[in-house]
Amino acid sequence: MVDQPVGNARCPSAGRRVRRHDRPPPLPHRRRHAGAGLGRWLRTQSPAAAGRPTGVRPAGPRHRPARGCRFQTDPCAAVSVAQLNGLGFTGGERSVDGQRCVTKFGPVAQVIASNRGNSLRTLYLEHARGHDTGNHWEPITVDTIHPAVIVAIDDNIPSKQADGPLGCTLALAADNTTLIYITAATYDKPETGPWQHDPCGAAQKIAELTVHNLKT
């Protein structure tokens, strides 16, 4: 299937002067603090290694890996049907529902990219405060450096736990103000190719493509 373009995916700020309060925070000095942002985030993943008691709120990463404004304009900019086919998915019928881009493979399997107008820092804060951020919490990195969190896993029935979960959702930081939620529901569906029993692996591979797409 050929992807249908959805509007002209331009940043909302294009063509206008950026006001002071719209500007992103300054990046660390390259020479003195190279890698400081990533190192600071990695240290938050292990409270014991950082020398603080468990249960203390992590600061959450500050990272700008891509252009979130492009995704806000066009949620299907996250990943194309052709790219999903390249990962082993077969076919793909695409539709847009508000801020969600849904790609269906057969009657059940699907990949969803959605914008919830949040930030990764806010997600960390909500999780630390005990708010409902999903039934799972697993900080990961995408493409070795981009912070993300697996926030939901749709468990299989008890007798089929060994076959893997039904679906998986991760939250990827597109920039400091945009989260991309990627959901892969792949269980036991031939249309999902090698990901039939690994929806979280599929979500992470899709996230790698998303990072690349929103940078180009």
CB 105 within 8 A of CB 79: no
State residue 140 phi and psi, 5-degree precision: -140, 175
Q: Domain for residue 21, yes or no?
A: no
- For tokens 């373009």, the residue is 5
pLDDT tens digits, residue range 121-172?
Answer: 999 999 999 999 999 999 999 988 889 999 999 999 999 988 899 999 999 9
CA–CA separation, 21 and 27 (whole Å): 15
Indicate if the pLDDT at residue 11 is higher than 70. no
Q: Domain for residue 186, yes or no?
A: yes
pLDDT tens digits, residue range 57-91?
Answer: 444 555 444 467 778 888 999 999 999 999 999 99
Q: How much is the pTM?
A: 0.70
Residue 159: give the domain boundaries.
68-215
Average model confidence (pLDDT) across the chain: 77
More confident residue, 76 or 2: 76
Q: Domain for residue 57, yes or no?
A: no
Indicate if the pLDDT at residue 51 is higher than 80. no
> 104 pairs with which residues across the strands?
93, 110
Q: What pLDDT is stored for residue 130 in this prediction?
A: 96
Q: What pLDDT is stored for residue 135 in this prediction?
A: 97
Which CATH number characterizes residue 183's domain? 3.40.1000
Residue type present at position 201: G
Q: What pLDDT is stored for residue 60 in this prediction?
A: 53
CA–CA separation, 4 and 154 (whole Å): 30
Q: What pLDDT is stored for residue 36 in this prediction?
A: 43
Q: What pLDDT is stored for residue 1 in this prediction?
A: 45
Q: What pLDDT is stored for residue 61 in this prediction?
A: 52
Q: Domain for residue 193, yes or no?
A: yes
User: For residue 41, what is the enclosing H or E element?
Assistant: helix 36-44
Give CA torsion, residues 140, 145, 148, 154, to 10 deg. Answer: -50
CB 202 within 8 A of CB 189: no
Give CA torsion, residues 174, 208, 47, 177, to 10 deg. Answer: 0
| Direct distance between the N- and C-terminal alpha carbons of the chain, in angstroms, rounded to an integer | 22
Cα atoms in the Cβ-side hemisphere of radius 13 Å centred on 153: 17
User: For residue 153, what is the enclosing H or E element?
Assistant: strand 146-154
Indicate if the pLDDT at residue 184 is higher than 60. yes
Q: Domain for residue 10, yes or no?
A: no
Indicate if the pLDDT at residue 42 is higher than 70. no
Q: Domain for residue 112, yes or no?
A: yes
Q: Domain for residue 28, yes or no?
A: no
Counting the structural domains of the chain, the total is: 1
Q: What pLDDT is stored for residue 47 in this prediction?
A: 40
Which range of 34-43, 47-56, 86-95 scores highest in mean pLDDT? It is 86-95
Q: Domain for residue 15, yes or no?
A: no
Give the residue among 95, 99, 113, 114 at the shortest CA–CA distance from 4.
Answer: 95
pLDDT confidence band for 180 (50 / 70 / 90) = very high
